[in-house]
Amino acid sequence: MRRSVTSYWVGFAIILALLAIAPLLLPEFWRRFVTEILIWGLLAMSSDILIGYTGMVSFGHSVFFGLGMYCAAAALLTTKPPNLWIAVLYGLAGALAVSLFVAYFATRLRDIYFSITTLVFSQIFYVVIFTWTDVTGGENGLAFSQPPLSIPGIWSGRFTGETLHWFVLAVVTVSFLILRRVTQSPFGMVLQAIRENEPRARAIGYPVERYKIVAVMLSGLFAGLAGVLYAVQNKFAAPDFVFFIVSGEVVIFNVMGGVGTLVGPVVGAAFFLLLREGLSRYFTEYYLIPVGIIFTAMVIFMPQGLLGFARRRLNQ
Amino acid sequence: MAIGFEQILIQTVNGIVNGMILALVASGLTLIFGIMDVVNFAHGDLVMLGGFVGAVTIASTGNFWLALLVAAVVIAVFGAVLQATTLRPLIGRDPLQTILATFGISLVLQKYAIWQWGPSARRIQEPLSGNFAFFYLQYPWYRILTALLATAIIGALYLFLRYGKYGIWIRATTQDRVMAQAMGIPVPLVHTAVFAIGAGMAAASGVLFGPLGGVTQNIGLDFTLRAFIVVVVGGMGNLGGSILASIFISLLEAYAALIVSPAQAVIVSFVALILTLLFRPTGLFVPTPK
């Protein structure tokens, strides 16, 4: 047992080190690609709290992601001079508020009805953002300038490709450690108990609804953080990111990588983005046809995802 | 803003007509859900495919009724194949996995439709073009016909389930899968047949909807969302409730369209869903559980 824990952290440190030196070795295009994988990976990881640990498939993660994005945009457009940390704060507050709102209604339902309700909410927010042109910029979205990277009182400078990558990597790593800690805490155990047997968890005396609401909020918080990172990287917020397709992709990341592992969804995001990159050369915008077929086949034949599959192979 | 009595009347009829088409979609969804606990995320895409198959048939033969039949049969066969290849292996697994599998199918079908038929909307020529005069109001006959046809199909389904031999098989399998199997009913075959029936009904509604709204690859998601709202509002797995809820939701949207733009009118049905969840989570059109 002791040894496997050590090898886990050694493996973690090696991967972290590789990701940290990646921008120095990779050309511009691939560096950006790796940064994007990390951001989408964080979004997928946040959704894993619901899919993998609580057994609720959310088709509304684009709302949390999008609200994080738009609130960060609002902060960057209204505060002078634009400040990174205020943007993060706004983004998190926005995502938290909206996830409380969604969770209050959606957690009353289970299984597919939860999924559909989250999907309905993502459509509501999409319609609102799309039609409320005065505030959200409507179809065109909002464009803003990148805030400087600053550590208050110590250091301040402009974002470059490398520092942006390191900043994203640091945020994602810290988020991963927090989420990992949460899933191993008594709170995380209760979530897993709800996944395994909800009536029983209720019978033991846990207020299941409250746990579910907190789980959705936790998940929404980190999804919003991913939205803030994406906004900072790309300097715009667009309604496309609130659309249901993004939520669907997040679910695909999870299933491809392996749910209930936290690392799996990041692997899934990397796998999906690589597939998209490779397949869109042959299939142009129809890359979702082969990706959808691969995804469906994986649900049937490889329900544990890539990571679970690899783990089982290694154990044999 | 004053809204004339005429407009309200027309929107009422519109709401009922759209409601009957929606009921056709939702009853297929309810049937599939009731019998095998399969949540078919791709149901709206079957509507969309049905619409396209109908449009293509009309373009080559010019006969609406033939197109309706061809679309229903083709999509029913397609549904049977889909069920046998992708959903049958998932029976007995976590219901989450059927959501995911049908979601994957839905993505493939949507993109396939763009690839095959392009992004522009196809309009199906209505078989009946005249207007219906009621005092001083004009109303297209085709819409009335649509509502009647949808009612007839749903009625036929009801009679089949109630009195037909295979209908009794279906009901028996819904009630108790294991017992039905023990009595010699080929349960896997029944599952496939039910999926095929649901798919065929979805395709028929796609063709019926064609002359009203046009067929694009986007209507799938719209129909899936609405059908699910209807299934929740009507009470899960309750055929009569889904029909009432379809009309209710469509009327709400029709009235809302008088005041706001149609894109925003959708929100009204979303709000209806949320209110139902808050105050009557078991559904609006079912007796209060004791």
* Averaged pLDDT, A141-149: 77
Instruction: With CA atoms as reference, report the closest residue to A260 among A184, A201, A169, A208.
Output: A184
Listed by number, the residues of chain A in 90-119 with a beta carbon closer than 8 Å to a beta carbon of chain B are 105, 108-109, 111-113, 115-117, 119
Q: Tell me if A282 sits within 8 A of A289, measured CB to CB.
A: no
Listed by number, the residues of chain A in 204-263 with a beta carbon closer than 8 Å to a beta carbon of chain B are 244, 248, 251-252, 255
pLDDT tens per residue, range A240-261: 888 888 888 898 888 888 888 8
Question: What is the spatial distance between Cα B219 and Cα B44, in angstroms, rounded to a whole number?
Answer: 7
* Averaged pLDDT, A28-34: 85
> What is the DSSP-derived secondary structure letter of residue B31?
H
CA distance A5 to chain B (A): 31
User: Chain A contacts of B32, Cβ < 8 Å?
Assistant: none
Residue written as token pair 């990558």: A165
Please state, for a pLDDT cut of 90, what percent of chain B lies above it. 18
Backbone angles phi, psi at B140, to 5 degrees: -65, 135
| Residue A63 predicted with pLDDT over 60 | yes
Query: How much is the pLDDT for A3?
Result: 66
Is B111 in contact with A292 (Cβ distance < 8 A)? Answer: yes
User: Chain B contacts of A286, Cβ < 8 Å?
Assistant: 111, 114-115
What is the complex's ipTM, to 2 decimals?
0.81
User: Chain A contacts of B104, Cβ < 8 Å?
Assistant: 252, 292-293, 295-296, 299
Query: How much is the pLDDT for B2?
Result: 60
| Residue B176 predicted with pLDDT over 60 | yes
* Averaged pLDDT, B85-103: 83
Residue A156, helix vs strand vs coil: strand
Query: How much is the pLDDT for A153?
Result: 63
Rounded to the nearest angstrom, the gap between the alpha carbon of residue A301 and the centroid of all alpha carbons in its chain is 25
Backbone angles phi, psi at B138, to 5 degrees: -110, 135
Question: What is the spatial distance between Cα A254 and Cα A53, in angstroms, rounded to a whole number?
Answer: 12
Instruction: Say how many residues make up chain B.
Output: 290
pTM: 0.84
For B7, the token pair is 């407009």
Query: How much is the pLDDT for A93?
Result: 92
Query: How much is the pLDDT for B237?
Result: 67
For A76, the token pair is 């960057």
pLDDT tens per residue, range A104-136: 888 877 777 788 888 888 888 888 888 887 777
Q: Pick the residue of B40, B96, B273 with the most A CBs within 10 A to test the interface with A by mutation.
A: B96
Is A251 in contact with B89 (Cβ distance < 8 A)? Answer: no
For B62, the token pair is 């010019």
Query: How much is the pLDDT for B196?
Result: 93
Residue A145, helix vs strand vs coil: coil
Please state which of the ranges A198-202, B4-8, B247-251 shows the lowest mean pLDDT.
B4-8
pLDDT tens per residue, range B28-47: 888 888 777 777 888 999 99
If one compares B132 and A12, the residue with the highest pLDDT of the two is A12
* Averaged pLDDT, B252-262: 83
Query: How much is the pLDDT for B70?
Result: 92
Across-strand partners of A155?
Answer: A151
Query: How much is the pLDDT for B200?
Result: 94
Distant-in-sequence, close-in-space partners of B58: CB < 8 Å, separation ≥ 6: B64, B67, B124, B125
Q: Tell me if A228 sits within 8 A of A76, measured CB to CB.
A: no
Query: How much is the pLDDT for A126?
Result: 87
For B4, the token pair is 């004339």
Distant-in-sequence, close-in-space partners of A226: CB < 8 Å, separation ≥ 6: A39, A40, A42, A43, A46, A65, A68
Rounded to the nearest angstrom, the gap between the alpha carbon of residue A198 and the centroid of all alpha carbons in its chain is 25
Question: What is the spatial distance between Cα B268 and Cα B254, in angstroms, rounded to a whole number?
Answer: 10
CATH class of B5-279: mainly alpha
Please state, for a pLDDT cut of 70, what percent of chain A lies above it. 97
Is B100 in contact with A299 (Cβ distance < 8 A)? Answer: yes
Q: What is the mean pLDDT of chain B?
A: 84
Question: What is the spatial distance between Cα B67 and Cα B62, in angstroms, rounded to a whole number?
Answer: 8
> DSSP of B53-85, one letter per residue?
HHHHHHHHH--HHHHHHHHHHHHHHHHHHHIII
Listed by number, the residues of chain B in 205-264 with a beta carbon closer than 8 Å to a beta carbon of chain A are 221, 225, 228-229, 232, 236, 261, 263-264
Q: Tell me if A35 sits within 8 A of A266, measured CB to CB.
A: no
| Residue B169 predicted with pLDDT over 80 | yes
For A71, the token pair is 């609130």
pLDDT tens per residue, range B105-158: 998 998 888 888 888 888 777 777 777 776 667 778 888 888 899 999 999 988
If one compares A155 and B208, the residue with the highest pLDDT of the two is B208
